[in-house]
């Protein structure tokens, strides 16, 4: 099509574009005018054999035509999009004053339920229930807890470090809250920390890169022994698993922040796929780690006097799974409404 004819048809094309009532019609006009085989695109191809002066003159005119077509297309496309949104809002409007047809009003997730139960339990016994920042420094997450520079836990294959922020990381444990608490409150101190922690683990049935950890700490200038630690753990397990009796045993283990350090197990039996904690159980299952606080940890907190203390820690998701017979940790973070409804409770 000659350039003069293109310029003559420009207003006709603009009018047709601005009158398009559907996206399909708009796309057809675009293809006919400036598409791969459109009239304006074809005119550009004819410039190959033109002289330099003609290329400049005709090229400028064709570019102006194309620019006006592009503007008209964009304007009408926005108009159609706005109309589609307004129709959708009109047709899909929700009247929140109408009565609810479904008798299920939602509820608390099983993790939230457990968190609240544990917080209430320790608060009622006079413990401070604390949490701290999830983005921590190496000092609070490692150094103050007597974890040396060469320890494997400090490597990137275990820990999420923040790029561009030296020495900053996503906390791998809530033990750093204990350090902050001892620095702030001093001795004596009875506290628990419950919060999210992060490890560089692959997500599978028993591991998650994010999980909740419960940590307890009791420190005093009066003598505190392993017997006190065992008694405290027994009370907590009897409360959480709702049993009248729990039998514990300690196994020696190494943790940089405890001396001595140990892992603790309790007796259990299984019934209907669920774990039943009981002193009558015929098997043992590991639940967490514990020990007497290492003297170097007290020094890191600026505590110079002679003090005694114990600490313990365990994963919230793990004990929830054991209590309710859940075999895959991924279920705790799934969005299956049937599962959530089964384990949820009304708020």
Cross-strand pairs, 288: 264
pLDDT class of 57 with cuts at 50, 70, 90: confident
pLDDT in tens, 265-320: 999 888 776 778 888 888 899 999 999 999 999 999 999 899 999 999 999 999 99
Confidence (pLDDT) at 144: 95
Which among 165, 138, 175, 174 has a CA at the least distance from the CA of 154? 138
pLDDT in tens, 102-138: 666 667 889 999 999 999 999 999 999 999 999 999 9
Contact of 269 with 276, CB cutoff 8 Å: yes
Residue 263 confidence (pLDDT) above 90: yes
Contact of 201 with 207, CB cutoff 8 Å: yes
Q: How far, in Å, CA of 89 to CA of 335, rounded? A: 27
Contact of 289 with 264, CB cutoff 8 Å: yes
Within a 10 A sphere around the Cβ of 238, how many other Cβ atoms?
17
The more confidently predicted of residues 57 and 201 is: 201
Spell out the residues 6+ positions from residue 35 whose beta carbon is closer than 8 angstroms to its own: 41
pLDDT class of 249 with cuts at 50, 70, 90: very high
166 cis-preceded (ω within 30 degrees of 0): no
Spell out the residues 6+ positions from residue 225 whose beta carbon is closer than 8 angstroms to its own: 308
Confidence (pLDDT) at 346: 43
Confidence (pLDDT) at 277: 85
Give the phi and the psi of residue 244 in degrees, each rounded to 5: -85, -20
The more confidently predicted of residues 47 and 281 is: 281
Q: Which runs of consecutive H residues, i.e. helices, occur in the chain?
A: 3-18, 23-34, 39-46, 52-91, 110-124, 138-141, 175-185, 226-240, 295-300, 316-324, 337-343
Give the phi and the psi of residue 267 in degrees, each rounded to 5: -75, 150
Mean pLDDT for all residues in the chain: 88
Coil, strand or helix: which one is 87? helix
pLDDT class of 175 with cuts at 50, 70, 90: very high
Confidence (pLDDT) at 342: 80
Residue 54 confidence (pLDDT) above 80: no
Confidence (pLDDT) at 66: 85
Q: How far, in Å, CA of 311 to CA of 105, rounded? A: 40
Q: What tokens appear for 41 in the block?
A: 């695109």
Residue 345 confidence (pLDDT) above 70: no
pTM above 0.85, yes or no: no
Residue 145 confidence (pLDDT) above 50: yes
The more confidently predicted of residues 224 and 60 is: 224
Confidence (pLDDT) at 302: 93
pLDDT in tens, 195-248: 999 998 888 888 899 999 999 999 999 999 999 999 999 999 999 999 888 899
Confidence (pLDDT) at 288: 93
Confidence (pLDDT) at 347: 40
């Amino acid at each position: 099509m000659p350039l003069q004819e293109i310029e003559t048809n420009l207003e006709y094309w603009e009018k047709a574009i601005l009158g398009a009532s559907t996206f399909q019609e708009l796309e057809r006009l675009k293809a006919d005018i400036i598409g791969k085989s459109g009239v304006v695109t074809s005119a550009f191809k004819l410039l190959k054999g033109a002289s330099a002066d003609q290329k400049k003159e005709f090229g400028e005119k064709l570019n102006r035509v194309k620019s006006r077509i592009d503007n008209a297309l964009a304007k009408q496309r926005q108009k159609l999009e706005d109309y589609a949104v307004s129709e959708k809002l009109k047709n899909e409007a929700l009247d929140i004053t109408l009565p609810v047809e479904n008798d299920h009003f939602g509820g608390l997730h099983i993790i939230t339920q457990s968190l609240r139960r544990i917080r209430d339990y320790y608060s009622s016994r006079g413990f401070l229930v604390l949490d701290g920042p999830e983005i921590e420094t190496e000092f609070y997450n490692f150094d103050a807890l007597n974890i040396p520079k060469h320890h494997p836990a400090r490597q990137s294959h275990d820990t999420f470090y923040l790029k561009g922020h030296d020495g900053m990381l996503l906390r791998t444990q809530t033990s750093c809250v204990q350090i902050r608490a001892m620095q702030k409150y001093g001795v004596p101190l009875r506290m628990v920390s419950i919060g999210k922690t992060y490890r560089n683990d692959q997500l599978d049935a028993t591991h998650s890169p994010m999980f909740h950890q419960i940590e307890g700490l009791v420190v005093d200038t009066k003598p505190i022994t392993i017997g006190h630690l065992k008694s405290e753990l027994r009370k907590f397990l009897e409360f959480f698993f709702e049993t009248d009796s729990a039998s514990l045993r300690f196994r020696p283990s190494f943790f940089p922040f405890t001396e001595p350090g140990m892992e603790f197990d309790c007796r259990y039996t299984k019934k209907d796929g669920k774990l039943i904690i009981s002193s009558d159980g015929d098997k043992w299952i590991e639940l967490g780690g514990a020990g007497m606080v290492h003297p170097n940890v007290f020094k890191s907190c600026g505590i110079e006097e002679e003090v005694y203390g114990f600490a313990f820690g365990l994963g919230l998701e793990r004990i929830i799974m054991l209590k309710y017979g859940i075999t895959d940790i991924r279920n705790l973070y799934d969005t299956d409404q049937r599962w959530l409804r089964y384990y949820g409770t009304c708020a």
